[in-house]
Amino acid sequence: MKTTTLPVGSPQWLLIDAAGQSLGRVAVKAAHCLRGKHKASFSPHQACGDHVVVINVKQLAIPPKKIYRKTYYRYTGYMGNMKETSLPQLMEKHPERVIEIAVKGMLTNNRLRTKILKRLHVYADDKHPYEAQQPTSILVA
């Protein structure tokens, strides 16, 4: 059986303001738009999603219990070198990585994930260099 592949159109630019929003809700919305599931021409074997710019990550609304319970682990590859970082430490040093890690965990683990994650742009403040692309704002519910 012959299958056809639709040509992928040019991606749009979407803007998510994370100020006062929940970490999980922002990450779900970003992953959904990055994957392209909001489009009628979605196909799971193509990177047909849009560019997503997330701003104001420093102002995420994180519940007090999650602040002390959430830890991030990374393994260097050497024996006994598992590093752990708490959520307050990560928010202080690199607040962008909190969203990047959450979105990466929500995408499928295949060859497309690296292509899709290149379209995610996260900034701690409200300043970003993509004003020329005129990103449309998305409401996170």
Coil vs helix vs strand at 132: coil
DSSP-based three-state secondary structure for 1? coil
Q: What angle do CA 62, 49, 129 make, to 5 degrees?
A: 65
CATH match for 13-61+96-138 among 2.40.240.10, 3.90.470.10, 3.90.1180.10, 1.10.3720.10: 3.90.1180.10
Mean pLDDT of 1-14: 83
- Could you give the CA distance from residue 71 to residue 85 in angstroms, rounded to a whole number? 6
Residues listed for the chain: 141
Give the pLDDT confidence of 29-79 residue by residue, as tens digits: 999 999 999 998 888 989 999 999 999 999 999 999 999 999 999 999 999
Strand partners, 86: 71
pLDDT of 7 reads 81
Q: Is residue 73 within 8 Å of 92, Cβ to Cβ?
A: no
For residue 2, the model assigns a pLDDT of 72
d(CA 135, CA 127): 13
Query: Which tens digit of pLDDT belongs to each residue from 112-139?
Result: 999 999 999 999 999 999 999 999 999 9
What are the domain boundaries of the chain?
13-61+96-138
Q: pLDDT band at 6, cuts 50/70/90?
A: confident
Q: Do the beta carbons of residue 35 and residue 49 sit within 8 Å?
A: yes
